[in-house]
Amino acid sequence: MSLEVRNLTVNHGAITALSDISFTVPEGELVAIIGANGAGKSTLLRTLSGLKDASHGTATWKGHNLLSGKAETHVRQGVAHVSEGMSVIPELTVEENLDLGAIWRRNKSEAATTKAEVFDLFPRLQERINQSADTLSGGERQMLAIGRAMMSKPQLLLLDEPSLGLAPLLVKQIFDAISNISRQYGLSVVLVEQNAMGALKIASSGIVLNLGRVAMTGTSQELISDPAVQAAYLGY
């Protein structure tokens, strides 16, 4: 089960945000999408999760074209999207945010098992189970956002800048957690990041987006050692 994106074009009104994007995420692999602000990274994820309409192209997952469905049906196909900027609902408690992730699942005892797994992954969330989400620190919120996504038992995880606004030590923890989750559950992951080095370190391959186009693709190792990538995105 892989994600196949072919010739994807997305417009914001008259502006082309993404132009003719093609790439593959093989089953169980973590692919990093890097690029500057405005490169179209978030738009790409929002289109894949059904929040934004595409103008052209296909994105095939488990035989379904993700571009023709709605966001509320994608989660039932095993797609979970953690959108940019701590995607939790601050007015709800930690537990309610997690329950929200599993709200469409009919089998509530299975959902309870998943919740226990999420607490194993992020024990901090269990300590704060009844606190409202707006009392959490930035790192805890990001754990909650990822935990909420895990509650839907996804097979494809779309992560939008999970390191945004976190202290360096926390950034490492979050990247480690993502890497573990991906390996442990055999999840396919699309990881959008401005922290290119952090993302490429845990990814098997990467895609560089520039002004809405694919500028470069390769294995993480190839990209990390590429002089052009180093100069533009890795800060060497």
Partner 1 sequence: MFQFINTLLIGITSGAIYALMALAIVLVWRSTRVINFAQAGQALASTYFGYQALQYIDSFWIALIIAMAGGAILSALIEVIFMRILLKHTTSGAIAGVAPIIATLGLLEIIRTLVTLKWGGADVIVKAPLSNTGFSIGSNTLVFSPMKLAIIAVVTVLLLVFSVIFQKTSIGLSLRASAFSPELARLAGIRVDRIRTLGWAFSGATGAVAGLLLVTNGNGSLSPASLEFSLLLISGFIAAVIGGLESLLGSVVGGVALGIITAFVLMYISDSLFFIAPFVVLLLVLFIRPQGVLGKKGGRRA
The distance of closest approach from Cβ of residue 88 to partner 1 in the complex, given in angstroms and rounded to an integer, is 8
The residue behind tokens 């930035």 is 138
Q: Which stretch binds partner 1 (CB under 8 A): 17-25, 35-43, 88-96, 224-232?
A: 88-96
Site string for partner 1, 121-160 (x = CB under 8 A): ---------------------------x---x--------
State the alpha helices, DSSP H only, in 82-165.
Answer: 94-101, 108-121, 123-127, 138-150
Largest CA distance in the chain: 51
| CA distances for 83 relative to 26, 160, 163, 194, angstroms | 22, 5, 12, 14
Q: Does residue 49 bind partner 1 (CB under 8 A)?
A: yes
Q: Does residue 104 bind partner 1 (CB under 8 A)?
A: yes
| Among residues 27, 53, 91, 176, the one that binds partner 1 under rule CB under 8 A | 91
Q: Does residue 164 bind partner 1 (CB under 8 A)?
A: no
Give the Cα separation of 70 and 55 in Å (integer): 15
Q: Does residue 11 bind partner 1 (CB under 8 A)?
A: no
Q: Does residue 80 bind partner 1 (CB under 8 A)?
A: yes
Q: Does residue 51 bind partner 1 (CB under 8 A)?
A: yes
Q: Residue 217 forms beta bridges with which residues?
A: 207
The residue behind tokens 């049906």 is 73
Ranges within 177-216 binding partner 1 (CB under 8 A): none
The residue behind tokens 């809405």 is 212
Give the Cα separation of 7 and 45 in Å (integer): 15
Q: Which stretch binds partner 1 (CB under 8 A): 34-42, 59-67, 76-84, 187-195?
A: 76-84
Q: Which stretch binds partner 1 (CB under 8 A): 15-23, 25-33, 75-83, 184-192?
A: 75-83
The distance of closest approach from Cβ of residue 200 to partner 1 in the complex, given in angstroms and rounded to an integer, is 26
Beta-carbon count within 10 A of 224 CB = 18
In eight-state DSSP terms, residue 29 is: -
Query: Quick check: 205 and 26 in contact, CB under 8 A?
Result: no
- From the centroid of its chain, how far is CA 36? 17
| Among residues 103, 167, 228, 231, the one that binds partner 1 under rule CB under 8 A | 103
Residues lying near partner 1 in the complex (CB under 8 A): 49-51, 70-73, 75-76, 80-81, 83, 87-92, 96, 99-101, 103-104, 148, 152
